């Protein structure tokens, strides 16, 4: 924002006559997209490879970004030629920012609009790629598309052709695109550095947790073999491993499996699923609600402060959350396992936060992924040896 504040303003501005464009520099004009770009209609060459327009605005050969997750059509009917420098718009993904300038020659399906500048107007496609992506990410393309075709977010060349766009001089287009290339490049570099730092901090955090829950706080404490391969050595003064079923209550939703979305209410107890927590933190405001009668149907899945929640099946098996606080009454939805320490002679068998950190460590998560594959984690836990 500071860079924008310091940019010099034009001497004079005028009303563009287009509500969503607003004021433009006095020397600029407004033109329809069809007077700036032509829709390319090229045959496919034998050497052409598939070009993909991604949501981050990069348009490149598919092999440059991804090698899997795609299927090739047996017939290439309808494929079109793409050339380096084309402004490419993905009709179904334009609203999400899939608009950019191709860095390669290749081919694409008809879902892409390949737009070439009209030479007589001297149009810079990189300027308009930035402009169109701004329209997309601000939500304007969605509103325009829906206004044209009810319930549709497709944005095809005909829609682009009728769109009113500002037209600066070519030197101004080049200067603006160059400025944005430089500034966004600097920001991308800064983001990459921060992401690398975050990953290093996450790794450091994981090592810290792993060492604390498997070795304790005294690095000089003598160790002994736990007798369990995946647990390995533990401090000699720690108790021997116990099966989870002897130290923990393990509960999942069983009492009201027939819960339907139409039963959700605006008020009442929260119903928590794995979609409502990330990075171990629960977003209670995103949880649906149910009636008190539904909540009371199964006491085993009613949540309390200190509960550990674990994704017990599916692709995210092992995903965790800890109930630090409750917004009121709350219970579990399916696919989650509730762990709570048993009480023996008035004492809990373990401290819940310690167990939670233990379950975060790589040893535990690896055990889950290896032994839980193809089954629910509930079955794994019932025979799970754990260090108290």
The string of pLDDT tens digits covering residues 170-199 is: 999 999 999 999 999 999 999 999 999 999
The string of pLDDT tens digits covering residues 10-64 is: 899 999 999 889 999 999 999 999 999 999 989 999 999 999 999 999 999 999 9
Q: Are 369 and 343 in contact (CB under 8 A)?
A: no
Q: In whole angstroms, what is the distance from residue 235 CA to residue 23 CA?
A: 71
Other Cβ atoms closer than 10 A to 11: 8
Checking if the pLDDT of 4 tops 70, the result is no
- The mean pLDDT of 244-259, rounded to a whole number, is 78
Confidence band (pLDDT; 50, 70, 90) for 354? Answer: very high
Confidence band (pLDDT; 50, 70, 90) for 243? Answer: confident
Checking if the pLDDT of 268 tops 90, the result is yes
- The mean pLDDT of 73-81, rounded to a whole number, is 68
Full DSSP string of 264-297: -EEEEEEEE-GGGEETBEE-GGG--E--HHHHTT
* CA distance between the termini of the chain: 53
Checking if the pLDDT of 316 tops 70, the result is yes
Comparing 31-40, 69-78, 296-305, 340-349, the range with the smallest average pLDDT is 69-78
Domains along the chain with CATH numbers: 10-168 (3.90.220.20), 233-386 (3.90.220.20)
With CA atoms as reference, report the closest residue to 115 among 189, 53, 66, 69. 53
Confidence band (pLDDT; 50, 70, 90) for 258? Answer: confident
Checking if the pLDDT of 373 tops 60, the result is no
- The mean pLDDT of 155-174, rounded to a whole number, is 93
- The mean pLDDT of 101-110, rounded to a whole number, is 95
In this prediction, residue 143 carries a pLDDT of 81
Q: In whole angstroms, what is the distance from residue 270 CA to residue 160 CA?
A: 45
- The mean pLDDT of 361-375, rounded to a whole number, is 77
In this prediction, residue 242 carries a pLDDT of 83
Checking if the pLDDT of 375 tops 70, the result is no
% of residues, the chain, pLDDT over 70 = 87
Residue with tokens 């334009």: 94
- Predicted TM-score (pTM) of this structure: 0.69
Checking if the pLDDT of 151 tops 60, the result is no
Map residue 62 onto helix, strand or coil: helix
Q: In whole angstroms, what is the distance from residue 247 CA to residue 101 CA?
A: 60
In this prediction, residue 113 carries a pLDDT of 94
Map residue 72 onto helix, strand or coil: coil
In this prediction, residue 382 carries a pLDDT of 40
Checking if the pLDDT of 74 tops 70, the result is no
Confidence band (pLDDT; 50, 70, 90) for 146? Answer: low
């Amino acid at each position: 924002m500071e860079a924008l504040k310091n940019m010099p303003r034009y001497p004079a501005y005028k009303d563009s006559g287009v509500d969503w464009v607003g004021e433009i520099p006095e020397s600029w004009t407004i033109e329809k997209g069809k007077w700036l770009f032509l829709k390319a209609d090229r045959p496919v060459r034998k050497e052409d490879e598939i070009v993909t327009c991604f949501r981050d605005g990069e348009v490149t050969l598919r092999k440059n970004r991804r090698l899997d997750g795609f299927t090739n059509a047996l017939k290439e009917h309808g494929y079109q030629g793409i050339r380096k420098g084309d402004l490419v718009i993905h009709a179904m993904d334009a609203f999400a920012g899939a608009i950019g300038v191709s860095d390669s020659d290749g081919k694409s399906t008809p879902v892409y609009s390949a737009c070439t500048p009209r030479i007589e107007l001297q149009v810079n496609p990189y300027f308009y790629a930035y402009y169109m992506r701004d329209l997309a990410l601000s939500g304007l393309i969605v509103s325009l598309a829906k206004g044209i075709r009810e319930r549709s977010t497709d944005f095809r060349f005909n829609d682009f052709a009728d769109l009113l766009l500002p037209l600066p001089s070519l030197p101004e287009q080049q200067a603006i695109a160059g400025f944005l290339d430089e500034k966004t490049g600097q920001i991308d570099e800064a983001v990459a550095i921060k992401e690398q730092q975050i990953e290093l901090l996450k790794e450091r955090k994981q090592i810290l947790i792993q060492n604390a829950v498997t070795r304790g706080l005294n690095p000089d404490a003598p160790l002994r073999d736990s007798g369990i391969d995946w647990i390995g050595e533990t401090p000699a003064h720690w108790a021997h491993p116990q099966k989870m079923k002897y130290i923990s209550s393990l509960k999942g939703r069983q009492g009201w499996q027939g819960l339907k979305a139409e039963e959700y209410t605006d008020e009442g107890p929260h119903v928590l699923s794995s979609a409502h927590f990330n990075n171990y933190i629960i977003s209670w405001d995103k949880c649906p609600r149910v009636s008190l009668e539904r909540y009371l149907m199964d006491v085993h899945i009613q949540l309390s402060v200190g509960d550990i929640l674990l994704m017990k099946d599916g692709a995210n098996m092992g995903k965790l959350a800890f109930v630090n606080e409750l917004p009121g009454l709350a219970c579990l939805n399916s696919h989650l396992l509730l762990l709570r320490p048993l009480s023996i002679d008035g004492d809990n068998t373990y401290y819940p936060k310690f167990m939670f950190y233990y379950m975060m460590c790589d040893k535990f998560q690896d055990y889950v992924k290896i032994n839980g594959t193809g089954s629910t984690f509930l079955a794994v836990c019932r025979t799970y040896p754990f260090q108290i």
